Amino acid sequence: MEIKSLKSPSGLLELTAFLENGKIFYQVRRGGCAVIDPSPAGLVLPDLDLSEGLSFAGEESYAHDECYSIPAFKKAVCREFIAGLPTSWDESRLLEGSPANFVTMARRKGGSWYIAGICARRPRNAEFVLDFVDAEAYSAEIWQDDLSDERPSDAAVGALGEMTPEIVAALEEMSQRPCQHQHDIHKTLHRTFTVKKGETIRIPESVNGGFALKLRPKRS
């Protein structure tokens, strides 16, 4: 197996590409912990298949010394949350999910829980019970869809019943969501509150939207 690696100037990020049986795979690690597990890579064009039968043809080195900024990200209310995300976890749980429809996951690092959800092509309410946490009360901080510009048609036209193989197949064929109003999915609502063990949490999600929730044990 042939392996090639590329590191950031600080050495914190590392991109590894490797060939196995003529197919190329890549992996990304941050601080020695995998943030993207080994995944296949390739490109298939109408008249050319670059996903198999490959080999490393050579190696070239370049030096790049340039600073740049990402203004939009600097202004994003979720910047601090993303920058502080752990790269490894002590526990992971699937709270709810349906293929091609939605998923809500919870991950624990130490005493803190990170819960996130996404949904596709239709609005919904994420709902789960905090029966898996240890502390009796938590300080909660959430980044979620700002639905202040939602219209009744967003839920009415996009609402569907229980997922069936037929509905999943139909959704997969749609190039855009079944909704009359183009809600701004980039608007984010940031707020803090307190939750208790055993409490039922309901969080509205926009079509193709979601949320990120951080729970930290409250000190008595």
Q: What is the pLDDT along the chain (220 residues), one digit of tens a residue?
A: 778 888 888 888 899 998 888 888 999 998 888 888 888 887 778 888 888 888 888 777 777 677 666 665 556 778 888 888 998 899 999 999 988 889 999 999 999 999 999 988 677 889 999 999 999 999 999 999 887 766 544 543 344 455 567 766 766 666 554 544 455 656 788 999 999 999 999 998 887 889 999 999 998 6
Query: Helix or strand or coil: residue 176?
Result: coil
Whole-number pLDDT of residue 131: 96
Whole-number pLDDT of residue 158: 41
Whole-number pLDDT of residue 165: 76
Which DSSP state fits 147?
Answer: -
Alpha helices in the chain (DSSP H): 71-75, 79-83, 152-158, 165-173
- What are the beta bridge partners of residue 33? 30
> Per-domain residue ranges for the chain?
2-49, 72-217
Apex 90 CA angle, 89 and 94, nearest 5? 80
Whole-number pLDDT of residue 109: 95
Looking at the structure, give the CATH architecture of the domain made up of residues 72-217: Sandwich (2.60)
